């Protein structure tokens, strides 16, 4: 008897195959981990189970009965609840109101509802105050409200999408107790995660996805160690990746980051005492599972986010106290992870976006010399082979590859000494990836020091001179891409503490 | 409904706004024609009368432009804020604040020579409007308080203040009970330009041209547009959002305040209804101009003409309600049509349900 059985699930999106015959079997009363790298198809598969997507092929069975969900409400009615990473709560409603929203009895009695919600919470050890408004709650409490919402709808299968990403360690431990209680009642919990230690502590079995396929199903977590998990998640090093042939000698330090600590609004150190250096002409890769501090680190170096302590220097000039604009004028270029909305302004046209960094120098006095602006844009478009329909139309219609070439090209236009490239090839097609990687390699040959943050191990191995691994905000290992194996790096990414690389 | 939905166009329709407004206008006039026929009028005749009243003679032009002045400046005030994504709903109150400040200047220096007094009154009016916008500006910039609420609520404060002034300390003792302030000094009246239009037409034209140009071509205007497109992109290139929000909202208030100063010329004195809804009409003007300061003037003249035409046909036996319905239809048609320059209708079949496409649009709009 199985609680959940997903079999041969295919789901295609324009240009992407998210699930290619993935399967998943979950026993009743168990906590089941679903593992995989970003883009492995975990979330799509869970959305199929939760009725958000209809699979192109394949079957969904609950308790052996085939299901055909056409909307999330169907899945909820069949007893599937999902807690998304981004909570779907109404901040000004109370816990009870959020829990009961959409499935409240016709006649409402506030006090009896609060009592019922309180009893339900207590039954599963979900500490909450039914009468409080959600905006007052911590992230952990909000997550418990989401779980309560699912339990209120009598979910027999509860999907938790990377539930610990927003939690403190104590809250995470409490979540583990809650899932255990639910499993003891015979419910099934699907726990999406990247982190080996919590998978081993909280889960009974694990299924690993890679490239939209199931590569290992229902493994006992006792058989799982960091090396095995990394191997399953990232795959064997099959094709030898094209290592970049370094043409320049790494020169003087161009970027010095010393003991940077960045706190989030809850006071957690999301970047925890990171130090690193990048030399002239060097590409330093940063590997890590999403959400382990790469983004705040990049933002802090670029001056978009305040570091609590630590210093940043570019060619021996301390730029710590400078704002983003001044840092840029000191030769620090930044290709942010969000190319649309941060790196580029989507509602402005190609000319405007091409001059966003240096419009202050175009034309004397208060007016912009738009003739000069146009020629700047034209030279970028030509040099980086950007296909724009019309330069005076909003960027919104351009493909990802063209947008990224525009962004990268603009950042390199003022001949920086350091380039921070965050996920520069994510979501691009094969040619787009190659075009960007070629630009990075060419720039390194010209002496630019590059900090390459990526979730694509292949890319990091191919391009980096040195490879750092971040886990939970800290640099936990440094590797030489020529000698390290992907398993070693993968294990460090998953938080295995006995990494073979020397701790930085 | 029926599976049809709006999808954002990849590229805005080239030259689409003018086309869309044209189509919107024709559709609205067609609907209006039906109403007119039902009411027993010849639509062609009535529409020609409207056009004639608005543009048929120098006198008609002077009336239209006189309407267009407060519409254009109030529209500019809203559009300046709107081009960086801020909503100044308080132009109405800022107009009142401008009128109060302008009158106050006139009370302080009733014997100043005309040009000087007028200049000082207008400067005072702009400062008055700016001061009323200062609170919302600081609250928004430093505390993130929604400026829509604060500017909207300050309208009430401004209205109560002017009501208090004209009923109390500033009440004209010779007004036999009417809640009005004494007339302004004679030399404070704005000189006539032609027919019924005074020099406020020139002042408004100058302000609109300078701002339209400056917003489109200057570094300052460029920063405004970046911030309006994406706050994060603005921070990324090192634009101080706080300072931008502060200056833009205060500037928006100052432009609205200027309307109050100019309105004093039309009303001769400050009265409770000095703002007359121009501030709210400015929101419509700005929306029709797609929040572009450079587009405000044309919209203001068209809107002014519509109002003048609407008043004229009331005199032709067309029920006032139908005249107003026609005005509303034209505005609705133009606003509605503007939607289709950036959105298109997608039928139920082409809905892919894929998250790849929906993610694209959400990225674009975020």
Instruction: Identify the weakest region by mean pLDDT among A148-152, A319-323, B273-277, B347-351.
Output: B347-351
Residue A233 counted as domain residue: no
Residue A234 counted as domain residue: no
Residue B113 counted as domain residue: yes
Residue A284 counted as domain residue: yes
Listed residues A366, A397, A415: the one ending a domain: A415
> Which pLDDT belongs to residue B8?
63
- The pLDDT tens digits for A436-486 are 999 999 999 999 999 999 988 888 999 999 999 999 899 999 999 888 888
Residue B70 counted as domain residue: yes
Q: Is residue B97's pLDDT more than 80? A: yes
Residue A282 counted as domain residue: yes
Tell me the shortest Cα–Cα distance from B355 to chain A, in angstroms: 7
Question: How would residue B93 be classed by pLDDT, with cut points 50, 70 and 90?
Answer: very high
More reliable by pLDDT, A429 or B51: B51
Residue A482 counted as domain residue: yes
More reliable by pLDDT, A451 or B312: A451
- The pLDDT tens digits for A171-194 are 888 899 999 999 999 999 999 987
What residues form DSSP beta bridges with A10? A20, A57
Residues A207 and A274 in one domain: no
3-state class of A158 per DSSP?
A: strand
Tell me the shortest Cα–Cα distance from A361 to chain B, in angstroms: 10
Question: How would residue A386 be classed by pLDDT, with cut points 50, 70 and 90?
Answer: confident
Residue B114 counted as domain residue: yes
Listed residues A224, A257, A280: the one ending a domain: A224
Name residues 26-65 of chain A within 8 A of B (Cβ): 44, 47, 53-54
A65-67/A253-263 β-pairing: unpaired
Q: Mean pLDDT over all residues of chain B?
A: 86
A347–B354: do the CB atoms touch at under 8 Å?
no
> Which pLDDT belongs to residue B335?
80
Q: What is the CA B119 to chain-centroid distance, rounded?
A: 23
Residues A111 and A143 in one domain: yes
Residues A247 and A364 in one domain: no
Q: Which of B222, B343, B362 to mutate to test the interface with A (most CBs of A within 10 A)?
A: B222
Question: How would residue B342 be classed by pLDDT, with cut points 50, 70 and 90?
Answer: low
Q: Mean pLDDT over all residues of chain A?
A: 87
In this complex, which of B9, B10, B222 lies closest to A368 when CB atoms are compared? Answer: B222
In this complex, which of B12, B217, B230 lies closest to A341 when CB atoms are compared? Answer: B230
> Which pLDDT belongs to residue B254?
97
In this complex, which of A304, A366, A389 lies closest to B219 when CB atoms are compared? Answer: A366
Listed residues A368, A391, A415: the one ending a domain: A415
Chain A positions in Cβ-Cβ contact with residue B294 (cut-off 8 Å): none
B11–A367: do the CB atoms touch at under 8 Å?
no
- The pLDDT tens digits for A51-86 are 999 999 999 999 999 999 988 899 999 999 999 888
- A457-472: string of b/e by CB count within 10 Å (b at 16+)? bbbbbbbbbbbbbbbb
Question: How would residue A248 be classed by pLDDT, with cut points 50, 70 and 90?
Answer: low
3-state class of A116 per DSSP?
A: helix
Max intra-chain CA distance, chain B: 74
Tell me the average pLDDT across A220-226.
83
**CB pairs below 8 Å between A and B: how many?**
103
Tell me the shortest Cα–Cα distance from B86 to chain A, in angstroms: 16
B236–A15: do the CB atoms touch at under 8 Å?
no
> Which pLDDT belongs to residue B133?
97
Instruction: Identify the weakest region by mean pLDDT among A387-401, A461-475, B19-33, B181-195.
Output: A387-401
Q: A231 is written with which tokens?
A: 């191997």
A336–B226: do the CB atoms touch at under 8 Å?
no
B226–A340: do the CB atoms touch at under 8 Å?
no
- The pLDDT tens digits for B219-261 are 999 999 999 888 899 999 999 899 999 999 999 999 999 999 9
> Which pLDDT belongs to residue A422?
95
Residues A160 and A87 in one domain: yes
Place of tokens 């030509």: A382
Residues A424 and A407 in one domain: no
Q: Which of A70, A348, A393 to mutate to test the interface with B (most CBs of B within 10 A)?
A: A348
Question: How would residue A426 be classed by pLDDT, with cut points 50, 70 and 90?
Answer: confident
> Which pLDDT belongs to residue B186?
86
- Please enumerate, as own/partner, the contacts of A436-439 that have beta carbons within 8 Å and a separation of 24 or more: A436/A401, A436/A404, A436/A405, A436/A408, A437/A462, A437/A463, A439/A384, A439/A405, A439/A408, A439/A409, A439/A412
- The pLDDT tens digits for A362-376 are 988 899 999 999 999
Q: If we measure between CA atoms, which residue out of A482, A464, A39 comes closest to residue A287?
A: A464
Q: Which DSSP string corresponds to A302-360?
A: HTSS--SEEEEEETTEE-TT--HHHHHHTTEEEE-S-TBTTTB-TTSBHHHHHTTTTGG
Residues A185 and A270 in one domain: no
More reliable by pLDDT, A303 or A12: A303
Inform me whether the C-beta atom of residue A326 falls under 8 Å from chain B C-beta atoms.
yes
- The pLDDT tens digits for B38-60 are 988 899 999 999 999 999 999 99
Rounded distance between C-alpha atoms, residue B259 and residue B98, angstroms: 7
* Residue in A with minimal Cα distance to B356: A13
Rounded distance between C-alpha atoms, residue B226 and residue A345, angstroms: 7
Residues A433 and A361 in one domain: no
Residues A319 and A447 in one domain: yes
Give me the domain span that covers residue B113: 59-294
Query: How many distinct structural domains can be found in chain B?
Result: 1
Tell me the shortest Cα–Cα distance from A174 to chain B, in angstroms: 33
Query: How many distinct structural domains can be found in chain A?
Result: 3
Inform me whether the C-beta atom of residue A397 falls under 8 Å from chain B C-beta atoms.
yes
Residues A424 and A451 in one domain: yes
Tell me the average pLDDT across A382-407.
82
Residue A357 counted as domain residue: yes
Tell me if A359 sits within 8 A of A368, measured CB to CB. yes
Contacting residues for B355 by C-beta, under 8 A, at least 6 apart: A13, A44, A47, A53
Tell me the shortest Cα–Cα distance from A307 to chain B, in angstroms: 16
Residues A440 and A377 in one domain: no
Residues A55 and A163 in one domain: yes
Instruction: Identify the weakest region by mean pLDDT among A269-273, A296-300, A471-475, B327-331.
Output: B327-331
| Most confident of the following: A426-440, B97-111, B182-196 | B97-111
**Secondary structure, 3-state, chain B:** CCCCEEEECCCCCCCHHHHHHHHHHHHHHHHHHHHHHHCCCCHHHHHHHHHHHHHCCHHHHHHHHHHHHHHHHHHHHHHHHHCCCCCCCCHHHHHHHHHHHHHHHHHHCCCCCHHHHHHHHHHHHHHHHHHHHHHHHHHHHHHCCCHHHHHHHHHHHHHHHHHHHHHCCCCCCCCCCCCECCCCCHHHCCCEEECCEECHHHHHHHHHHHHHHHHHHEHHHHHHHHHHHCHHHHHHCCCCHHHHHHHHHHHHHHHHHHHHHHHHHHHCCCECCCCCCHHHHHHHHHHHCCCCHHHHHHHHHHHHHHHHHHHHHHCCCCCHHHHHHHHHHHHHHHHHHHHHHHEEEECCCCCCCCHHHHHHHHHHHC
Residues A269 and A388 in one domain: no
Say which CATH number the domain at A96 has.
Answer: 3.40.50.300
Question: How would residue B355 be classed by pLDDT, with cut points 50, 70 and 90?
Answer: very low
* Residue in A with minimal Cα distance to B220: A366
Residue B224 counted as domain residue: yes
Give me the domain span that covers residue A392: 345-415
Residue A443 counted as domain residue: yes
Region of A365 (left: φ > 0; alpha: ψ -120 to 50; beta: rest) is left
Residue A456 counted as domain residue: yes
Rounded distance between C-alpha atoms, residue A332 and residue A387, angstroms: 27
Residue B284 counted as domain residue: yes
């Amino acid at each position: 008897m199985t609680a959940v059985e997903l079999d041969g699930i295919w789901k295609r999106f324009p240009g992407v195959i998210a699930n290619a015959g993935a399967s998943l079997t979950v026993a009743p009363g168990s906590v089941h981990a679903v593992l995989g790298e970003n883009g492995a198809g975990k979330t799509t598969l869970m959305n199929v189970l939760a009725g958000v997507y209809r699979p192109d092929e394949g079957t969904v069975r609950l308790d052996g009965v085939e299901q055909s969900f056409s909307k999330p409400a169907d899945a909820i009615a069949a007893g599937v609840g999902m807690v998304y990473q981004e909570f779907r709560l109404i901040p000004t409603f109370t816990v009870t109101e959020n829990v009961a929203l959409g499935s409240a009895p016709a006649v409402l009695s506030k006090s009896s509802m609060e009592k019922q919600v309180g009893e339900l919470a207590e039954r599963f050890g979900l500490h909450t105050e039914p009468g409080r408004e959600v905006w007052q709650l911590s992230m952990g409490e909000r997550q418990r409200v989401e779980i309560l919402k699912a339990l209120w709808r009598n979910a027999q299968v509860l999907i938790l999408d990377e539930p610990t990403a927003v939690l403190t360690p104590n809250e995470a431990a409490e979540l583990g107790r809650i899932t255990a209680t639910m499993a003891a009642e015979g419910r099934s919990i699907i726990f999406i995660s990247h982190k080996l230690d919590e998978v081993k502590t909280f889960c009974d079995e694990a299924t690993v996805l890679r490239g939209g396929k199931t590569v290992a199903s229902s493994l006992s977590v006792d058989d799982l160690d960091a090396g095995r998990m990394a191997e399953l998640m990232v795959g064997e090093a099959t094709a030898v990746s094209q290592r970049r042939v370094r043409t320049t000698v790494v020169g003087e330090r161009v970027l010095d980051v010393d003991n940077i600590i960045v706190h989030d609004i809850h006071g957690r150190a999301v970047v925890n005492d990171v130090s690193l250096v990048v030399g002239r002409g060097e590409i330093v890769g940063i590997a890590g599972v999403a959400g382990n501090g790469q983004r705040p680190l990049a933002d802090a170096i670029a001056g978009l986010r305040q570091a609590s302590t630590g210093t940043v220097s570019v060619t021996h000039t301390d730029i710590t106290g400078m704002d983003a604009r001044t840092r840029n004028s000191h030769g620090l270029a930044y290709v942010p992870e969000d190319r649309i909305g941060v790196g580029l302004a989507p509602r402005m046209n190609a000319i405007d976006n091409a001059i966003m960094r240096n419009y202050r120098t175009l034309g004397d006095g208060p007016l912009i010399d738009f003739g000069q602006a146009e020629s700047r844009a034209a030279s970028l478009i030509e040099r980086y082979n950007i296909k724009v329909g019309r330069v005076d139309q909003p960027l919104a219609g351009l493909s990802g590859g063209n947008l990224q070439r525009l962004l990268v090209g603009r950042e390199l236009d003022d001949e920086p000494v350091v380039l921070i490239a965050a996920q520069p090839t994510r979501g691009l097609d094969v040619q787009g990836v190659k075009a960007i990687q070629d630009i990075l390699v060419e720039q390194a040959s010209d002496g630019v020091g590059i900090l390459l943050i990526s979730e694509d191990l292949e890319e990091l191995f191919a391009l980096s001179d040195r490879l750092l691994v971040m886990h939970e905000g800290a640099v936990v290992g440094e590797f030489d891409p020529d000698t390290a194996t992907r398993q070693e790096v993968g294990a460090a990414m998953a938080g295995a503490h006995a990494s073979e690389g020397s701790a930085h | 409904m029926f599976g049809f939905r709006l999808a954002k166009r990849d590229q805005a329709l080239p030259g689409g706004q003018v086309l869309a407004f044209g189509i919107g206008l024709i559709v609205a006039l067609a609907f209006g024609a039906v109403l007119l026929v039902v009411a027993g009028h010849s639509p062609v005749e009535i529409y020609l009368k409207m056009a004639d009243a608005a543009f048929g003679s120098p006198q008609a032009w002077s009336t239209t432009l006189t309407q267009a002045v407060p519409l254009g400046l109030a529209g500019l005030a809203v559009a300046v804020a709107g081009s960086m994504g801020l909503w100044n709903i308080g132009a109405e109150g800022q107009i009142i604040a401008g009128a109060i400040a302008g009158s106050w200047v006139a009370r302080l220096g009733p014997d100043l020579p005309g040009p000087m007094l007028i200049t000082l009154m207008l400067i005072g009016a702009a400062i008055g409007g700016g001061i009323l916008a200062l609170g919302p500006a600081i609250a928004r910039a430093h505390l993130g308080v929604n400026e829509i609420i604060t500017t909207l609520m300050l309208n009430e404060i401004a209205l109560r203040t002017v009501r208090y002034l004209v009923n109390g300390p500033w009440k004209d003792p010779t007004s036999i009970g009417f809640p009005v302030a004494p007339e302004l000094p004679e030399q404070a009246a704005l000189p006539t330009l032609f027919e019924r239009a005074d020099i406020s037409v020139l002042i408004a034209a100058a302000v609109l041209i300078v701002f339209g140009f400056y917003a489109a071509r200057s570094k300052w205007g460029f920063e405004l547009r970046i911030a309006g497109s994406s706050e994060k992109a603005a921070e990324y290139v090192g634009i101080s959002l706080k300072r931008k929000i502060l200056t833009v909202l205060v500037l928006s208030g100052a432009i609205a305040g200027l309307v109050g100063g100019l309105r004093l010329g039309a009303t001769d004195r400050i009265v409770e209804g000095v703002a007359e809804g121009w501030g709210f009409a400015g929101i419509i003007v700005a929306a029709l101009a797609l929040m572009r300061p450079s587009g405000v003037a044309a919209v203001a003249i068209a809107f002014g003409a519509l109002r003048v035409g609407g008043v004229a046909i009331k005199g032709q036996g067309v029920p006032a309600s139908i005249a107003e319905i026609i005005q509303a239809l034209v505005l609705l048609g133009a606003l509605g049509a503007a939607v289709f320059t950036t959105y298109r209708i997608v039928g139920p079949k082409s809905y892919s349900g894929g998250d790849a496409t929906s993610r694209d649009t959400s990225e674009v709009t975020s």
